Amino acid sequence: MSNATIRSDGAVGPLAGRVAVVTGASSGIGAATARRLAAGGASVAVLGRREDRLKELADEMRPTAAGAVLPLAVDLTDPEGVRAAARTVGAELGAVDLVVASAGVMLGAPFETAGTDEWERMIDVNLRGLLHTSRAFTDDLIGAAAKGGPADLVYVGSVAGHALYPGWSVYSATKAAVAHLTRNLRAELGPRGVRVKNVEPGVTLTELGADMRDAEMTEALAQMRAGMRPLDPEDIAEAIAFAVAAPPHVNVAELVVVPVEQG
C-alpha cells in the first residue's frame, strides 16, 4: 500500500498538501532538505541570509516541484525579521505545518583563546535564532494539529550535543541546549498534536565550519572529514523526510544519523 497522498490540484507525494519552512536553506543540509521536501510534494519557503543563493535554489527547484517555492532572505537573529517572514509565508503559501530549523554556525577553538564574538554568534544563530523561528510558526503548527493533520517542528541538532569534542565546547553547549529544548517542547506541544523532533547528524560534508578563524581547528575538521566517508547533506534530508512522513500519531522524536565509521 502506498503512503502517497493527493493534493486538491492533483499533485501526488507523501508530503503533498503540506506547507514547509526550511531555515539555513542557502547551503548544506537546509538546501538539501528543501529539495527533498519539495520532491515529496510540499510547498516550501526557503529562508536564509544569502538572497542570491536562495533565489538560485528556488529557480532550480521550481521546474520539478509539485508545490510552490518561496525564497525569503532573513536574519534569524532578528525577531521582527523572522515574524515578518512568517507573515509573508502565510500570505503566499498558507498556514505552515512543517518547520525545519536547520540554520547553524560551528566555530571551534580552544576555550581559553576562542573569540567571545564567535561564542555570541553561535548562541545567536544556534539557539536564539532557532527560538525565534519556532515561536513565529508555533500558532500555525498548533492550528494544523487541531485540524487532525500532521504538524512538525524539526530541529537539526548535532551528536556534539551529547558527545565530547575538545575545542568545540561552546558549539556543543548550544546543541545540548537544542536537545533539551526538544524534549521539553515535546512535553509541552505533544499533547496538542505537534511533533517536535531533533535530528542529530554526525560528521557531514557541508560548509559548516568554513568561516572559523582558528587555523588548527579548521585543519582538525578537515582531517576528521577526510578520515572517514562522511555523510552528505542529502543523507540528513532523507532522514528528515522519513520522520515527517510518518502517520500523524507517530513522532520520530530523536534521530541520530552518523557515518558508519563514526560508530
Catalytic (active-site) positions: 171
Nearest residue to 237 via CA among 27, 36, 100? 36
Helix, coil or strand: residue 20: strand
How far is the C-alpha of 249 from the C-alpha of 251, rounded, in Å? 7
Nearest residue to 217 via CA among 131, 75, 129, 107? 107
φ/ψ (deg, to 5) at 8: -65, -25
Instruction: Tell the residue number behind the cell numbers 582531517, with chain if given.
Output: 223
Q: Using a CB cutoff of 8 Å and minimum separation of 24, what contacts does 209-212 make?
A: 209/106, 209/107, 209/108, 211/105, 211/107, 212/106, 212/107, 212/108, 212/109, 212/118
- Give the pairing of strands 12-13 and 19-22: unpaired
C-alpha distances in Å from residue 118, one per residue of 19, 40, 108, 163: 34, 37, 9, 21
Cα distance from N-terminal residue to C-terminal residue, the chain: 34
Q: Which region holds residue 218: left if phi is over 0, alpha if psi is between -120 and 50, else beta?
A: alpha
CB atoms within 10 A of CB 106: 24
Beta-carbon contacts of residue 63 (< 8 Å; ≥ 6 apart): none
From the number of C-beta atoms within 10 Å of its C-beta (0-12, 13-18, 19+), residue 249 rates as exposed
